């Protein structure tokens, strides 16, 4: 068994570039995986859709380009996290393969020797802040106020708007996302309220198990 395990994250948004490493390190501590680590910055595929689109090596487009970049650093595992936006809903109305499984298959085909998990935040990473709003308020991350109705949060198209209303100021992803992520709870209640958050926690369990099992 190795002494240290290194997990790399791949994201699309500027806020997630710092927020997802914060989330990973908190989850490692929560699970008492003291021999797991991740860099301060995730690998960022700039622009919405950069990971979802067809692979174009010359233009650095498609999940394959960023998995190749991560694999070159010889990590023990790779987490890819991106917003669904409207795509998962559109696929649910058609016979197309789910976005998460499709991207996971594409990623694993590029780096067969490295454990890889792909998580789609439905519809946005910020939906998890609304789901965990009580914990954010308890931690002093957002001001006190009337309870926010947690039902149907993942159907909201622009979660930044209710966050602005709750904060009483503009929402700043590059500042607020890493800060709010510090208070996201790893609880069964969060997983029940947010299907995609539950998928994230299951993916982290699978990724760390696979990393430790590598020969």
Q: Say what the pLDDT of residue 148 is.
A: 64
Which alpha helices (H) appear in 72-132, and where do they start and end? 87-92, 99-110, 126-131
Predicted structure pTM score:
0.90
pLDDT for 95 equals 41
pLDDT at 94: 39
Report pLDDT for 123: 85
pLDDT, block means (10 residues), the chain with 215 residues? 90 95 98 97 89 86 95 97 69 57 95 96 92 93 74 74 91 97 96 94 97 86
| 61-82: burial string, b at 16+ Cβ within 10 Å, e else | bbbbbbbbebbeeebbbbbbbb
Predicted local confidence at residue 90, as pLDDT: 44
Task: Tell me which residue has tokens 């926690």.
Answer: 201
């Amino acid at each position: 068994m190795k002494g240290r395990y290194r997990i790399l994250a791949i994201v699309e948004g500027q806020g997630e570039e710092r927020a997802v490493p914060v989330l990973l390190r908190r989850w490692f501590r929560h699970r008492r995986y003291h021999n797991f680590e991740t860099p301060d910055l995730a690998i960022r595929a700039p622009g919405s859709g950069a990971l979802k689109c067809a692979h174009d090596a010359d233009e650095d487009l498609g999940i394959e380009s960023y998995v190749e970049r991560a694999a070159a650093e010889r990590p023990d595992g790779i987490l890819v996290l991106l917003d669904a936006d409207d795509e998962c809903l559109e696929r649910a109305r058609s016979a197309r393969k789910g976005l998460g499984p499709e991207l996971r298959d594409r990623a694993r085909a590029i780096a067969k020797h490295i454990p890889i998990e792909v998580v789609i935040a439905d519809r946005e990473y910020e939906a998890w802040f609304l789901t965990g709003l009580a914990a954010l308020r308890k931690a002093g991350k957002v001001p006190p106020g009337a309870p926010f109705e947690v039902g149907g949060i993942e159907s909201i198209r622009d979660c930044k708007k209710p966050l602005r209303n709750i904060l009483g100021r503009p929402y700043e992803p590059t500042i607020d996302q890493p800060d709010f992520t510090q208070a996201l709870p790893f609880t069964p209640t969060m997983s029940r309220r947010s299907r995609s958050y539950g998928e994230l926690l299951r993916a982290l369990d699978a990724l760390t198990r696979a990393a430790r099992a590598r020969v």
